[in-house]
Amino acid sequence: MPSTLAVEAHGLVKTYPGRRGRPPVQALDGLDLAVPAGTVHGLLGPNGAGKTTTTKVLTTLSAATAGTAKVAGHDVSRDADAVRRAIGYVSQGTGADPLLTPRENLVMAARLRGAGRAAADERARELLARMGLHDEAGRRTSTLSGGTRRKLDVALGLVDAPRVLFLDEPTTGLDPEARASMWQEIRSLAADDEVTVLLTTHYLEEADRLADAVSIVDHGRVVATGSPVALKADIGAASLEDVYLHHAGRAWDAEAIR
């Protein structure tokens, strides 16, 4: 039986209008994506490739100019409310209040989503344990390490028990140990809780270790997609970095020559 797709996009186009006399920006140029439920999918690609724009369209924060997409079975433009109820989103920047503790941040987020006091306390407790934040739960967020803060961001994305979680660069700036610890949490979200995770990253080793499949985005299109093992085998590459340079590098080279 074919697995259900938690995320599917067909021919997404996003054109940002040009401002102050500048030409419009074609951020997405016919992007396709298929992510089976319960898997971790990595979006890779150079700065400006369209990864964040893709995430924004799929999370209903931004409307596509053309193309269609479904998340958790709901159309992002026709059923935006249903999509929002099914997803969590951790943006490229932080979402936590620096003046509150992790526990207070989580309780506040749960209460904003309609939970009563007791239910919000309980949800915060679960998520602190889930993300290994127990020891730091009562410290002011501004005093926490980058890795701990980023875990709190992910915990905030999980408040509503989403079926699909979008993580935009969850490990940027983290040291190797914090990164490995984050990988473990993300992996267990998919394996134990059947959450589908779509994450963008610039760390190819991270994608190689963590993702069931990756899509390499360049100039608003997917130029290669598949499991890291299959992508490496296709071109006889030793590492995902070589795969990345093989595919994404072509467009750079072509542009440099023009």
Residue 132: name its binding partner from Mg ion, ligand ATP, none (Cβ under 5 to 8 Å by kind): none
Shortest reach from residue 45's CB to ligand ATP, in Å: 5
Residues in contact with ligand ATP by the rule CB under 6 A: 16, 25, 27, 45, 47-53
User: Quick one: how far is CA 217 from the chain centroid?
Assistant: 14
Residue 131: name its binding partner from Mg ion, ligand ATP, none (Cβ under 5 to 8 Å by kind): none
DSSP state of 68: E
d(CA 118, CA 70): 34
Residue 228: name its binding partner from Mg ion, ligand ATP, none (Cβ under 5 to 8 Å by kind): none
Does 59 sit near Mg ion (CB under 5 A)? Answer: no
Residue 25: name its binding partner from ligand ATP, Mg ion, none (Cβ under 5 to 8 Å by kind): ligand ATP
Pick 46 or 132: Cβ nearer Mg ion: 46
Shortest reach from residue 67's CB to ligand ATP, in Å: 15
Q: How deeply is 164 buried, as exposed, middle or buried, from its count of CB atoms within 10 A (0-12, 13-18, 19+)?
A: buried
Shortest reach from residue 245's CB to ligand ATP, in Å: 16
Do residues 12 and 175 lie in contact, with contact meaning Cβ atoms separated by under 8 Å? no
Do residues 157 and 96 lie in contact, with contact meaning Cβ atoms separated by under 8 Å? no
Helix axes 117-130, 102-112, angle to 10 degrees: 130
Pairing of β 25-36 and β 74-75: unpaired
Pick 27 or 90: Cβ nearer ligand ATP: 27
Tell me which stretch binds Mg ion (CB under 5 A): 52-60, 111-119, 126-134, 224-232. Answer: 52-60
Other CB atoms within a 10 A radius of the CB of residue 37 amount to: 17
Does 54 sit near Mg ion (CB under 5 A)? Answer: no
Do residues 167 and 211 lie in contact, with contact meaning Cβ atoms separated by under 8 Å? no
Contacts to Mg ion by CB under 5 A? 51-52
